[in-house]
Amino acid sequence: HSLRRRQRQMCIRDRYLVPDGLSVVINFVLKKRDFQGKSYYVVYDMGGGSTKASLFSIEQPDNETEPLRVEFGGYGYDSQLGGSNFTLKVASLIESKFLSKNKDITTEELYRNPKAVAKIVQAAEKAKLILSANSEASISMESVLEDVDFKTKITKQEFEDSLENGASEIVEPIRAALDGQFWDEKIDPKQVSGVILTGGSSS
């Protein structure tokens, strides 16, 4: 119970645990301001190689002159899920299109050339960023292999279809935060008002 109390503590002094996502949710509170009663939010933070989800409650006391109360209620973490996973998904799409267009080149031949693989991954990273805000991304690579240039397009639909099998992995940190709540009275997932995205790969 003492650990549970410490995990709920929102004081920023060194002797207390400061949960991940606290600064994000405080910034959210300051911008939104118009809260009624108690609501619940998850801060979803995806970086390049890992993902964290932090559950918070935000409560406006009946006396509106009193400050909002923010409480940390759950935490989920995946050390293997990150933006690099999505880059590799796009790279796999580019690779398939490249080999389909250049049927005389085998997968083994492509993989034996580190520079060619690196070019595909670099193009995938750029395409992933473009697809976060656009319906398609154009890709152009010179000399993927000697004297072999390549141009193609990746659509957002193709990218999303490639992620279907991994959809459960994406939401697993949120599920973990909800399943392992610190509060004595657990909330239902339907009570979560929203998910606040942060981190370089969450968009």
Q: Which residue has the higher pLDDT, 80 or 184?
A: 184
Beta-carbon contacts of residue 58 (< 8 Å; ≥ 6 apart): 25, 29, 35, 38, 39, 40, 41, 68, 69, 70
Q: What is the mean pLDDT of the chain?
A: 85
Q: Which residue has the higher pLDDT, 130 or 33?
A: 130
pLDDT at 6: 41
The pLDDT of residue 17 is above 80: no
Give the tens place of pLDDT for each residue, 20-32: 788 899 889 888 7
Crossing angle between the packed helical segments 83-101 and 114-131, to the nearest 10 degrees: 120
Rounded to the nearest 10 degrees, how much is the dihedral formed by the CA atoms of 168, 172, 178, 180? 130
Q: Locate 21 and state its tokens.
A: 């996502």
CA distances from 92 to 65, 99, 112, 124, 126 (A): 55, 11, 16, 9, 14
Count of Cβ atoms closer than 10 Å to residue 46 Cβ: 24
Beta-bridge partner residues of 45: 52, 198
Q: Is the pTM of this model over 0.75?
A: no
Count of Cβ atoms closer than 10 Å to residue 63 Cβ: 6
Count of Cβ atoms closer than 10 Å to residue 12 Cβ: 9
